[in-house]
Amino acid sequence: MDLEKFSALAIAENIKNGAITAVDAAKACLDRIEQTDPQIGAWLTVDRGAVLESAQDVQNRIEELLSRGQPLPALAGVPVGIKDNICTEGVKTTCASRILSNFVPPYSATVVKKLEDNLMVPLGKLNMDEFAMGSSTEHSAFQKTYNPWDLGRVPGGSSGGSAAAVASRQAPLALGSDTGGSIRQPSAFCGVTGLKPTYGTVSRYGLVAFGSSLDQIGPIAQSAADCAALFDAIKGHDKNDSTSYDRAYASVLSETDDFRPRTIGIPVQYTGEGIAPEITKAVEDAAAQFGIMGCKIVELSIPELEYSLPAYYIISSAEASSNLSRFDGIRYGYRTEHIDSLDDLYTRTRSEGFGPEVKRRIMLGAYALCAGYYDEYYNKALKARALLKQGFARAFTEADMLLSPTTPTPAFRFGEKADAISMYKADICTVSVNIAGLPALSFPGGFSSDGMPMGLQLVGPEFSEGLLLSCAHAFQKKTDYHLRAPSGRGDQSA
């Protein structure tokens, strides 16, 4: 059986039926990683022996449950990759940063424990932009990750390793984190499906913090159905995370086949200047397809969206400057060897340990929080956040969900976004969702004239993940964009 051609749910079904074992699935992924990752660079840590040992333990548990006639979790035995800012006990968690290059957590994140509880097999840790700050995975301290569709282009970021691993069929599933689009943007660039859940539906305990009011862990997969199954596995209240919602959660996987025509709004702010014509055409084509499926398509306006990009970079940088103050060379992580004083230890450790983009955002955040500028920048950004939430709330009185591009262009080439502002603008379609704490799903919506994937985004009210996934699943039944696999053309000359 060629596992790369099977969805995560299909792999689980074959394991349940005894056609293959969890060890077979893990071996297939590990072999694929060994064959293709020297070109792609998606993984930072993979321990073949430990993975196979874990897979055998999982297989033993699966056989025990089946012998007792007990049901298996939906993804039992399925391998999964983990972004390297999610803590894994006994396995390095570096955040793709020199300052954490030797950090081995003494505990696992809640989501990792949930993967294990659902009898899934962690494959290893995936590359990312340092501390999740970036849109291209060019900002990793250790290596670049290359887009499997064209090795001369970026995979997106910051979860570029996660999206590239799923797109190249190295893993059927991966976890990413999304602070301003870091699941959705690389999913769009790599032609896979990625869900940013409602803020507070997935525990952040064990996620190394970037922007605490914005961060959210979520699934990346080939399809909406696979995303739904992985989201079911990781969602839920966690007493270790005070921001997680204490509420009852229904299975979203069971909702994916329950598609009913809805009203879909298209914000005019995402159809004009700055959006590539091919991307706009993909949105129009998707809207037409949803119309054929019985949905009502309406055009609407959310003027407050113009505040989203500046508000996001002020809020996220301010929170980053606070969160990253703990990396000082004293308690854990990298520590400089050449010091003259305590102040020198702090300065040299942070100067040597952090990369340029992380330093830029720490300085921006510290500046915005200074006493003389707090009201002018940070407080004003919080007011813009409140206005943006009101704008979305108004939009959802006119439509059940919103359809937009995920990114303004297909994947760009390495080095193409040389200045910070042009790179930040790559997140123009995604950051507003994090500011408002809403769920959003990126799914493949076609291909550009030069063969690169184009992603579309559905945004809904809080806790509407099932609605978004069912609509995308219905769309994927009518299209084959999510089934196409990359050939890895291009080169790594960048």
Euclidean distance between CA atoms 126 and 108, whole angstroms:
16
Asked whether residue 15 carries a pLDDT value surpassing 90, the answer given is yes
Structural domain that includes position 32: 3-269+280-301+394-483
Residue 154 has pLDDT above 50, yes or no: yes
Q: Is residue 370 part of a domain?
A: no
Tokens (6 digits) for 27: 């071996």
HSE-up of 409 (CA within 13 Å, CB side)? Answer: 18
How far apart CA 381 and CA 113 sit, in angstroms, is: 36
User: What is the per-residue pLDDT across 249-288, written as a single tens digit (0 to 9) for each?
Assistant: 999 999 999 999 999 999 999 988 889 999 999 999 999 9
238 three-class SS: coil
Is pLDDT at 183 greater than 50 in this prediction?
yes
Taking the C-alpha atoms of residue 277 and residue 271, their distance in angstroms, rounded to an integer, is 9
Alpha-carbon span 191 to 133, nearest angstrom: 21
For the chain, give the percent of residues with pLDDT over 70.
98
| Angstrom distance (rounded) from CA 17 to CA 360 | 52
Residue 252 falls inside a structural domain = yes
443 domain-assigned: yes
Strand order in the sheet with 263-267: 43-45, 121-126, 79-83, 173-177, 217-221, 193-196, 440-447, 453-459, 401-405, 263-267, 296-300
Residue 373 has pLDDT above 80, yes or no: yes
111 has a pLDDT exceeding 80: yes
User: What pLDDT was estimated at residue 492?
Assistant: 58
User: Between 1 and 292, whose confidence is greater?
Assistant: 292
pLDDT at 310 over 80: yes
Query: Residue 255: its pLDDT value, please?
Result: 93
**pLDDT reported for residue 64:** 98
- Specify the number of domains making up the chain: 1
Is pLDDT above 60 for 493?
A: no
Q: What pLDDT does residue 2 have?
A: 73
Instruction: Give the residue numbers annotated as catalytic, written as ranges.
Output: 83, 158, 182
Q: Give the dihedral sign, CA 236/315/432/280.
A: negative
Full DSSP string of 438-479 = --EEEEEEEE-TTS-EEEEEEE-STT-HHHHHHHHHHHHHH-
Give the pLDDT confidence score for residue 440 in this predicted structure. Answer: 98
Burial 2-33 (b: 16+ CB within 10 A, else e): ebbebbbbbbbbbbbeeebbbbbbbbbbbebb
pLDDT mean across residues, the chain: 96
395: left (phi over 0), alpha (psi -120 to 50) or beta: alpha
Is the peptide bond preceding residue 404 cis, with omega within 30 degrees of 0? Answer: no
Q: How far is residue 427's CA from residue 434's CA, in Å, rounded to a whole number?
A: 11
Give the pLDDT mean for 324-335.
91
Residues 207-211 have a mean pLDDT of 98
Asked whether residue 1 carries a pLDDT value surpassing 70, the answer given is no
Q: How confident is the model at residue 3 (pLDDT cuts 50, 70, 90)?
A: confident
pLDDT band at 4 (very low <50, low <70, confident <90, very high): confident
The answer as to whether 314 is a domain residue is no
308 domain residue, yes or no: no
pLDDT at 179 exceeding the cut of 60: yes
Split at pLDDT 50, 70, 90, the class of 487 is confident
Contact 244, 276 (CB under 8 A): no
Per residue in 30-59, pLDDT tens? 999 999 999 999 999 999 999 999 999 999
| pLDDT for residue 490 | 60
- Looking at residue 133, its pLDDT comes to 98
**In this predicted structure, what is the pLDDT of residue 494?**
47
- Using left for φ > 0, alpha for ψ between -120 and 50, and beta otherwise, residue 242 falls in alpha
**Average pLDDT, integer, range 382-411:** 98
CA 424 to chain centre: 17
Q: Say yes or no to pLDDT of 353 above 80.
A: yes
Give residue for tokens 């329950």: 258
In a domain, 343, yes or no: no
Task: Residue 421: count other Cβ atoms within 10 Å of its Cβ.
Answer: 9
- Write the CA distances from 147 to 6, 10, 314, 354, integer angstroms: 21, 25, 29, 25
Q: What is the mean pLDDT of residues 64-69?
A: 98
Element (H, E) at 223: none
Give the whole-angstrom CA distance, residue 109 versus residue 177.
13
pLDDT digits (tens, 9 = 90+) for 442-462: 999 999 999 999 999 999 999
Does residue 194 form part of some domain? yes
pLDDT exceeds cutoff 90 at 78: yes
Count other C-beta atoms under 10 Å from residue 462's C-beta.
17
DSSP readout, 100-154?
Answer: GTT---SS--HHHHHHHHTT-EEEEEE--SGGG--SSS---SS----BTTBTTB-
CATH code where residue 12 lies: 3.90.1300.10
Which residue is it, tokens 């894994």?
Answer: 88
Q: How confident is the model at residue 331 (pLDDT cuts 50, 70, 90)?
A: confident
> Residue 323: inside a domain, yes or no?
no
Residue type, 441: L
Alpha-helical runs (H) found in 341-442: 342-353, 356-369, 380-395, 420-424, 431-436
